[in-house]
Amino acid sequence: MSMASDHPDGYVSDTAHRVIGEHVTGPCLQCQHRRCRLLEWAVKTVVTSLQPDQQVPLDQRHPLTLAARRVAEVHWPGGDGRCTPCRRADCEPGGLALTWLNAINDPWSPTLASAPSVVTLRQITGMD
């Protein structure tokens, strides 16, 4: 995909990493309870800009993992297979967050009643 912009390479993803880092310590002005569209943008920006052989720097991995867990939980599908905020089965923010959690084999699963595990959801969505 193209990330064409007037900014030098890395500018957008630096901004995204900064947003993710700020959410470790507290909510931003756009946070609405657990959901934050700015954080969803940041996770999307970082995950979609990752190259297959690219390592996320160690000091950025944990904040990204926390952000991805939060986005995944907010967008976790309900009993009808659709996420609550988007009402979509192919929810993009949730899918991108799970892409990262899958990439690092994160053992986390949300603390929601009867929620499928990451492994189950991977099978449902066909993601690997």
Report in angstroms how near the CB of residue 118 gets to Zn ion at its nearest: 16
CA distances to 76, 78, 79, 125 from 113, rounded to whole Å, are 11, 10, 10, 20
Residues that bind Zn ion (CB under 5 A): 28, 30-31, 36, 38-39, 75, 83, 86, 91, 94
Contact status, residue 66 vs residue 24, Cβ threshold 8 Å:
yes
The least CB distance from residue 77 to Zn ion, in Å, is 8
Min. distance of Cβ 6 from Zn ion in angstroms?
26
6 or 33, CB closer to Zn ion? Answer: 33
Nearer to Zn ion, 17 or 75 (CB): 75
Of 40 and 56, which has the nearer Cβ to Zn ion?
A: 40
Specify the long-range contacts of residues 89-92, CB closer than 8 Å, at least 24 apart: 92/44
